[in-house]
C-alpha cells in the first residue's frame, strides 16, 4: 500500500491477512520539494510513533490513521519571507592560517601593488607567506548558497581581499587588496549595498580542499596561475588553466 501525505511515502509489504509487517518492507522517501519546519517536526513525531508501537503488525487502517494524525499540516504556521534581501552578519569566530594553492605555492604580499602573489617558498623563506584571518558570516535565511560566507583579511593589517571591477568598465572581475579604514562596516553586509565585494563562499571538499567563490560575482573564483610569482586573481569555474583549489595550513582560532 502507498499513502502520500506531505511527500512522505510509506511502502508496506502486505499479506493475505490484510496486515503489514514493518520488518518485511518499510520505505520512507522525502521529496526534494521544500518543507516547512512544522512538516519536518511532524515527520519526526510520526517516526517516533512507529518506534513506540509495541506490535510490529497493524492494519492498513491503523497505519493510515497514524500518518494522517501526525503529518497533515495545519493551515496556520510560521511563514518566512524568502523574497527579502540577503543579510550577512559577521560572527565572532576567526581562523588565522596560511594558504597554499594546489601546486603548493604560498600566498605572499606583493610590494608596491595591491595584490597577492603565488610563490613557491623554499628553505628559510616560509616566513614570507602571509597570515590570513578568515572570518565567517551567518548564512542568509531560506536562500541557498554555494558555501559558507566568509571574508579574508591579511593578518595584522586592515587589508581585505575584494573581488571588484574597475569603475565604469565592463571588464571581468579582479582580486585586489583593499584597505578598509572602518572595519565596523563589515559587521553587517546587505545584498547590493556595495560591500559584497569582500565576501566569498567557502566550500570545503574532502576535508581540506577549499574553493572561494565571489558573492558579488557568482561563478568567479579566487585562483592562481600555474606559473611562478604571478598575481592571485579571479577566474571562471570552467577555466582549467588556473588553480582554483587551496589548502589552509597552520590553522588556529583567534
Burial 159-176 (b: 16+ CB within 10 A, else e): bbbbbbeeeeeeeebbbb
Q: What is the pTM of this model?
A: 0.67
Q: What is the pLDDT of residue 111?
A: 86
pLDDT tens for residues 38-67?
565 566 565 665 555 544 555 665 555 555
Distance CA(232)–CA(224), nearest Å, equals 5
Distance CA(98)–CA(101), nearest Å, equals 10
Q: Is the pLDDT of residue 69 over 80?
A: no
Q: What is the pLDDT of residue 235?
A: 98
Nearest to 145 by CA among 245, 214, 247, 91: 214
Q: In the numeric block, which cell numbers belong to residue 24? A: 518485511
pLDDT tens for residues 9-43?
344 333 334 444 444 444 445 445 555 555 655 66
pLDDT tens for residues 105-160?
999 998 888 899 999 998 878 889 999 999 999 987 665 568 999 999 999 999 99
Instruction: Tell how far CA 54 is from the center of its chain.
Output: 42
Q: What is the pLDDT of residue 234?
A: 98
pLDDT tens for residues 212-252?
999 999 999 999 999 999 999 999 999 999 999 999 999 99
Distance CA(153)–CA(110), nearest Å, equals 15
Q: What is the pLDDT of residue 113?
A: 86
Q: Is the pLDDT of residue 207 over 90?
A: no
Instruction: Tell how far CA 210 is from the center of its chain.
Output: 11
The answer to whether 118 and 105 have CB atoms below 8 angstroms apart is: yes
Amino acid at each position: 500500500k502507498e499513502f502520500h501525505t506531505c511527500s512522505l511515502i510509506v511502502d508496506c509489504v502486505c499479506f493475505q491477512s490484510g496486515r503489514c509487517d514493518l520488518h518485511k518492507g518499510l520505505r520512507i522517501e522525502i521529496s526534494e520539494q521544500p518543507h516547512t519546519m512544522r512538516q519536518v517536526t511532524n515527520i519526526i513525531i510520526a517516526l517516533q510513533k512507529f518506534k513506540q508501537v509495541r506490535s510490529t503488525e497493524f492494519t492498513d487502517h491503523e497505519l493510515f490513521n497514524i500518518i494522517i494524525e501526525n503529518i497533515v499540516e495545519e493551515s496556520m504556521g510560521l511563514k518566512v519571507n524568502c523574497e527579502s534581501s540577503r543579510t550577512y552578519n559577521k560572527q565572532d569566530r576567526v581562523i588565522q592560517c596560511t594558504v597554499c594553492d594546489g601546486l603548493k605555492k604560498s600566498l605572499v604580499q606583493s610590494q608596491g601593488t595591491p595584490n597577492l602573489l603565488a610563490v613557491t617558498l623554499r628553505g628559510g623563506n616560509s616566513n614570507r607567506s602571509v597570515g590570513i584571518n578568515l572570518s565567517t558570516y551567518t548564512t542568509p535565511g531560506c536562500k541557498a548558497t554555494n558555501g559558507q560566507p566568509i571574508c579574508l583579511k591579511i593578518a595584522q593589517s586592515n587589508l581585505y581581499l575584494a573581488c571588484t571591477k574597475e569603475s565604469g568598465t565592463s571588464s571581468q572581475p579582479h582580486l585586489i587588496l583593499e584597505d578598509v579604514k572602518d572595519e565596523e562596516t563589515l559587521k553587517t553586509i546587505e545584498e547590493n549595498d556595495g560591500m559584497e565585494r569582500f565576501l566569498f563562499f567557502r566550500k570545503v571538499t574532502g576535508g581540506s580542499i577549499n574553493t572561494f567563490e565571489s558573492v558579488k560575482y557568482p561563478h568567479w573564483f579566487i585562483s592562481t596561475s600555474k606559473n611562478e610569482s604571478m598575481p592571485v586573481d579571479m577566474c571562471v569555474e570552467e577555466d582549467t588553466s588556473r588553480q582554483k583549489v587551496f589548502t589552509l595550513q597552520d590553522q588556529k582560532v583567534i
